[in-house]
Amino acid sequence: MTEPVDNEEKNDIPKDELPIRDLVDQYFEALDSDIDKERRSEITETIEALEVRHEKFVREYGDDDPETVDLRKRIDELTEEQEQIDISERRAEVLADEIAERVVGFRLTEEWLDGRVLEGVNHVLVGEREPQLLVEGVRVDEELDASSLDEIRRLDLIDTVRQLAKDRLGTSTEAGDVWNSIQGSSYEVPFLTVATEGEATAKDVLSHVDEDISRDTAGARLRNASNKLSMNPYFRTDGVYSLSTVGKYLLREYAEYTDDDLTEKSENVERGEDEKGERDGSLSSFTDKIDQVTADGGDEDE
């Protein structure tokens, strides 16, 4: 009978030899450990305050004073707790990079279509713990029958997932090129509309565009982004567009808007307000962004 491999032994196995499922389990274990950034900040402030008082107690009462000794012990305890938080955080970051490196070899096989594995890949790429990817119009989950995909779509899907991983690792520019094609073009306002609303139709896009275009043109801008860009930023269901895994990745890694910014802009648009919302001094209001894109002209619609 084969002896089970305990966690300590498993951690000694080189990462490139571990099954991807085990690597993902280690990643989530690291994430779910007590990585408390607020606690770390609190500890840092407390240590700084205690160090000031420790110096005074040493100066005034000496190293052997009981209060001085206790104060030193407390500082050492907090420093150790701080180091453990740092170790857990670094371990999660290292494992995320390890997973991204493995995703460069992503395939539509049983190993990769495991729900836990997809959850890990999704979290590393876009920060969401959902056991699925939305790529090139395909919902990639445990239920996917890869054999039902035509060869071109299958290859494009695999390539897209791999390209996102390579972009995260800094070894590809394709995702950045896609964002550059969206930013400042007629694709940008539709993208921001979908990102703001969570899902949107051509009618929704039309209500955010400050120019005289038809509903068909608004729809064409969504479709053209899906069909003409090398990576599809949308996932479409019955005429309703939401961000695909690519779109979420672009929003997270390239767009200047945070989730809070988008929520605020959505509320402002609904109230008919035109408020400035800045992020690091670089954000214009949603209306200003529309005006800028309109003035620039963007891409032609078909």
Per-residue pLDDT of the chain (302 residues), as tens digits, is 333 434 444 444 455 578 999 999 999 988 887 566 778 889 999 999 999 999 999 999 999 999 999 999 999 999 998 888 888 788 889 999 999 999 999 999 999 999 999 999 999 999 999 999 999 999 999 999 999 999 999 999 999 999 999 999 999 999 999 999 999 998 999 999 999 899 999 888 887 776 677 888 888 999 999 999 999 999 999 989 999 999 999 999 998 765 555 555 445 544 444 333 333 323 334 445 444 544 444 444 44
Domain range list for the chain: 17-103, 175-296
With the CA atoms of 209, 234, 284 and 186 taken in that order, what torsion angle do they form, in degrees rounded to the nearest 10? -50
What was the pLDDT predicted at 281?
29
- Find all residues with CB under 8 Å of 171, minimum gap 6, and list them: none
Q: Write down the pLDDT at residue 135.
A: 97
* SS3 of 63-91: CCCHHHHHHHHHHHHHHHHHHHHHHHHHH
Q: Sign (positive/negative) of CA torsion 287, 291, 293, 294? A: positive
Q: CA-CA-CA-CA torsion for 74, 80, 82, 83, nearest 10 degrees?
A: 160
Position 87 scores a pLDDT of 83
pLDDT, residue 39, reads 84
CB within 8 A of 42, min separation 6: which ones? none
3-state secondary structure of 300: coil
Which residues lie across from 242 on neighbouring strands? 199, 235
Q: Give the pLDDT of residue 274.
A: 38
| The predicted structure's pLDDT at residue 263 | 54
What is residue 235's three-state secondary structure? strand
- Spatial distance between the Cα atoms of 203 and 208, rounded to a whole number of angstroms: 9
- pLDDT computed for residue 237 by the predictor: 94
Give the integer Cα–Cα distance in Å for 155 and 257. 31
Q: What share of the chain is helix, strand, coil (3-state, %, to 5)?
A: 65, 5, 30
Nearest alpha-carbon partner for 220 in 178, 267, 186, 250: 186
* Burial of 83: CB neighbours in 10 Å, binned 0-12, 13-18, 19+: exposed
* Contact residues for 276 (Cβ-Cβ < 8 A; gap 6+): 284, 285, 288
Per-residue model confidence (pLDDT) at position 258? 55
Rounded-to-integer distance, Cα 273 and Cα 269, Å: 6
Which helix (H) or strand (E) is 134 found in, with range?
Answer: strand 133-135
Give the count of beta carbons closer than 10 Å to the beta carbon of residue 50: 16
The rounded distance, in Å, linking the Cα atoms of 126 and 149 is: 24
pLDDT of residue 85: 82
* CA–CA distance, 208 with 201 (Å, rounded to integer): 11
